[in-house]
A and B are shown apart, each in its own frame.
Chain A
């Protein structure tokens, strides 16, 4: 009864009868088969718009660039979704990622010269530890994660400045001096490896889809029609082939540059691991349960504190990966990192994709779609020379729209229960 989590999840919204039918329709649309229909259509509209405005938009080089831009939003978005699912939030992950990245940069610098093999995991570990500290404070002292991590945001910026300045007179930034760290984003798979990754992903995913249908059918349970599953797999394969072709097209005007950037299989791996944990394991089930009704979870015998902390750990891990890719992309870490802004985009990516701010509803894939939407807006608006002012306002509108839909969906949920 005392956690903010409970308060927000049991809060009732009365008297929405007038908006119920509209709300129900929106929810049905929103939560359809994958829940992604509307936002994918929105993304398509954005793409068509930008392509109509400038033909550069759909060039191989720009699409690849867009994926790389999206990576940081996607990874931080996934880090945030672990917590959003429980009705929690971490406002400090932008700076936490910066610290993780800084640890990797510093340890692999020519001065310290640690192997990437040790330094990169230590960077990730730093982020996990930070999340564990926040999680422990939030859970043990029963404080709102919002407040704890707001304080944390400021504190971590201080830690980051300290780390960077501790390396001598650096002028406020440290460059990446190690090849593996540099290549995380700037390196590419060979064209053959690109095909291998894509074909393997499509085959694996297709096999999972068809086999789970098959198992349901042979157990005598109703399953989706066979053609629908095949259609899904074919669409997946088509998208995969298209991406492979795009990545394998030369995207440099002076030298030759092609292949899938390493960042993409990293994103895919984190997505697959997160999705697996959330949908196929007890831990995932309990995270949803805690976000839905913490008291019910407790009475079902679930060790709520343990699983809340575990979600913080997963969040920290994902933040750490994001931090490594961040420093790789910027080829260094500077005291000017906009950690606060990144957090907002991370939350926005999740919510735009369809994850609820109120806990209990969301998926890892939401961060991918939401992150792509944000990157598309960024990328497209820069191409058509919209000012930063316009960019911020449009992003805000998209986020606001996503939050409104989220709130309406939630309202209709709770009104249908009483």
Chain B
């Protein structure tokens, strides 16, 4: 599957220097996640071309861009669904190679996909613990799981579900999103990636989810949030990263942007007002 014209990435040392791809430079150990020269092709389709991105801890990074810009593909390379064709991923300054969703979740990266991936026929507790059930003498320890679920939902201020033994199929869109996020948080994740969490939601449910995003950040968890809604982005994000046709055209603190410049960059890939692709723009 690797059809990339890029030279193989090389020259990584534990000191954190990297060459190869486009991002020659120092990996900042302060960053939780750093991408350098990430490329991904699907046969002839180049979905990602040398993406460099830094994600600091405890901040909300909004990933924006037009349809087909490559946002979903980018997060799927981070979470191990599509291993990158080229480039490097650094987690807390150390290079990692997530090849499966399990790899990334073991690192502490949790992904909430666009389609949520919940089992409608299972209840909230069962979904929260799916794949990681607590057991007691090899039997499922329902009580322990139920108590922990209640505790976590309370922590995250998810108060709208009536019972944690409700089937997920009976929940509203916002509640389902909240459950998917809570599940992502439960495993002591340090980075939660959310792909368009509010796309299908109404006003109040969107507000709930955005509040949840801020709650995560305030608990020290980094969030990558993909959204098409710039209002939401400017409400919750600390940083913005803009993608255009498979490249990351700009990223930096939210203060560097306003809605107009963001829109310009999303549609044209450049802006007259914000310097493009400034890796250390902050």
Name A's B-contacting residues (CB within 8 A).
215-216, 219-222, 279-282, 285, 288-289, 291-293, 295-297, 299-302, 360-361, 413-414, 416-418
Specify the chain B residue showing the minimal Cβ separation from A221. B146
Q: How far apart are the CA atoms of A216 and B120 in the complex, in Å? A: 24
Q: How far apart are the CA atoms of A301 and B111 in the complex, in Å? A: 13
Q: Is the CB of A293 within 8 A of B119?
A: yes
Q: How far apart are the CA atoms of A280 and B141 in the complex, in Å? A: 8
Q: Is the CB of A416 within 8 A of B169?
A: yes
Least Cβ–Cβ distance between B146 and chain A, in angstroms? 6
Specify the chain A residue showing the minimal Cβ separation from B138. A281
Knowing A221-B143, A288-B119, A296-B117 touch, does A301 contact B138 (C-beta < 8 A)?
no
Q: Is the CB of B117 within 8 A of A300?
A: yes
Give the top 3 A-B pairs by smallest Cβ distance, nearest first.
A300-B131, A292-B119, A292-B121
Q: Is the CB of A302 within 8 A of B143?
A: no
Collect the chain A residues with CB atoms within 8 Å of residue B119's CB: 288-289, 292-293, 296-297, 360
Specify the chain A residue showing the minimal Cβ separation from B137. A280
Asked if B227 is an interface residue, CB under 8 A from chain A, the answer is no
Name the one of A215, A280, A295, A417 contacting B117, with C-beta atoms under 8 angstroms. A295
Collect the chain B residues with CB atoms within 8 Å of residue A282's CB: 133, 135, 140
Q: Is the CB of A289 within 8 A of B122?
A: yes
Q: Is the CB of A293 within 8 A of B133?
A: no
Q: Is the CB of B105 within 8 A of A301?
A: yes
Q: Is the CB of A296 within 8 A of B130?
A: yes
Q: Is the CB of B120 within 8 A of A301?
A: no
Name the one of B132, B139, B147 contacting A280, with C-beta atoms under 8 angstroms. B139
Knowing A282-B140, A285-B140 touch, does A297 contact B130 (C-beta < 8 A)?
yes
Specify the chain B residue showing the minimal Cβ separation from A284. B140
Name the one of A285, A296, A418 contacting B118, with C-beta atoms under 8 angstroms. A296
Asked if B113 is an interface residue, CB under 8 A from chain A, the answer is yes
Q: Is the CB of B120 within 8 A of A293?
A: yes
Specify the chain A residue showing the minimal Cβ separation from B200. A418
Least Cβ–Cβ distance between B60 and chain A, in angstroms? 23
Collect the chain B residues with CB atoms within 8 Å of residue A291's CB: 121
Q: Is the CB of B143 within 8 A of A215?
A: yes
Collect the chain A residues with CB atoms within 8 Å of residue B146's CB: 219, 221
Q: How far apart are the CA atoms of A295 and B131 in the complex, in Å? A: 13
Asked if B83 is an interface residue, CB under 8 A from chain A, the answer is no
Q: How far apart are the CA atoms of A350 and B130 in the complex, in Å? A: 26
Asked if B170 is an interface residue, CB under 8 A from chain A, the answer is yes
Q: Is the CB of A301 within 8 A of B131?
A: yes
- Of the A-B pairs whose beta carbons lie under 8 Å apart in the complex, a sample of 12, sorted by A's number, is A221-B143, A288-B122, A288-B126, A289-B130, A292-B121, A296-B116, A299-B117, A300-B130, A300-B131, A301-B132, A413-B120, A417-B120
Asked if B102 is an interface residue, CB under 8 A from chain A, the answer is yes
Least Cβ–Cβ distance between A410 and chain B, in angstroms? 10
Q: How far apart are the CA atoms of A378 and B170 in the complex, in Å? A: 38
Asked if B57 is an interface residue, CB under 8 A from chain A, the answer is no
Least Cβ–Cβ distance between A277 and chain B, in angstroms? 11
Asked if B101 is an interface residue, CB under 8 A from chain A, the answer is yes
Q: How far apart are the CA atoms of A292 and B130 in the complex, in Å? A: 12
Q: How far apart are the CA atoms of A299 and B200 in the complex, in Å? A: 22
Collect the chain B residues with CB atoms within 8 Å of residue A293's CB: 117-121
Interface footprint category on B: 20 to 34
Q: How far apart are the CA atoms of A42 and B143 in the complex, in Å? A: 35
Least Cβ–Cβ distance between B265 and chain A, in angstroms? 32
Name the one of A221, A285, A302 contacting B147, with C-beta atoms under 8 angstroms. A221
Collect the chain A residues with CB atoms within 8 Å of residue B140's CB: 279-282, 285
Specify the chain A residue showing the minimal Cβ separation from B135. A282
Collect the chain B residues with CB atoms within 8 Å of residue A285's CB: 122, 126, 130, 133, 140
Q: How far apart are the CA atoms of A301 and B143 in the complex, in Å? A: 23
Specify the chain A residue showing the minimal Cβ separation from B173. A418
Knowing A281-B138, A285-B126, A299-B101 touch, does A292 contact B143 (C-beta < 8 A)?
no
Specify the chain B residue showing the minimal Cβ separation from A31. B167
Least Cβ–Cβ distance between A119 and chain B, in angstroms? 32
Least Cβ–Cβ distance between B168 and chain A, in angstroms? 8
Specify the chain B residue showing the minimal Cβ separation from A282. B133
Collect the chain B residues with CB atoms within 8 Å of residue A361's CB: 121
Q: Is the CB of B117 within 8 A of A288?
A: no
Specify the chain A residue showing the minimal Cβ separation from B163. A222
Q: Is the CB of B169 within 8 A of A417?
A: yes
Q: Is the CB of A416 within 8 A of B147?
A: no
Collect the chain B residues with CB atoms within 8 Å of residue A296's CB: 116-119, 130
Collect the chain B residues with CB atoms within 8 Å of residue A288's CB: 119, 121-122, 126
Collect the chain A residues with CB atoms within 8 Å of residue B117's CB: 293, 295-296, 299-300
Q: Is the CB of B131 within 8 A of A292?
A: no
Collect the chain A residues with CB atoms within 8 Å of residue B176's CB: 417
Q: How far apart are the CA atoms of A302 and B176 in the complex, in Å? A: 21
Binary A-proximity of B119-156 (CB < 8 A = 1, otherwise 0): 11110001000111101001110010011000000000
Least Cβ–Cβ distance between A35 and chain B, in angstroms? 12
Collect the chain B residues with CB atoms within 8 Å of residue A295's CB: 115, 117
Collect the chain B residues with CB atoms within 8 Å of residue A221's CB: 143, 146-147
Knowing A221-B143, A289-B130 touch, does A301 contact B102 (C-beta < 8 A)?
yes
Collect the chain A residues with CB atoms within 8 Å of residue B169's CB: 413-414, 416-417
Least Cβ–Cβ distance between B195 and chain A, in angstroms? 13
Q: How far apart are the CA atoms of A384 and B272 in the complex, in Å? A: 90
Q: How far apart are the CA atoms of A291 and B143 in the complex, in Å? A: 24
Name the one of A215, A302, A416 contacting B130, with C-beta atoms under 8 angstroms. A302
Q: How far apart are the CA atoms of A243 and B55 in the complex, in Å? A: 68
Interface centre among B113, B120, B170, B176, by most chain A C-beta atoms within 10 angstroms, is: B120
Specify the chain A residue showing the minimal Cβ separation from B170. A416
Least Cβ–Cβ distance between B169 and chain A, in angstroms? 5
Interface positions of B from 85 to 120, Cβ below 8 Å from A: 101-102, 105, 113, 115-120
Interface positions of B from 159 to 186, Cβ below 8 Å from A: 163, 169-171, 173, 176
Specify the chain A residue showing the minimal Cβ separation from B180. A296
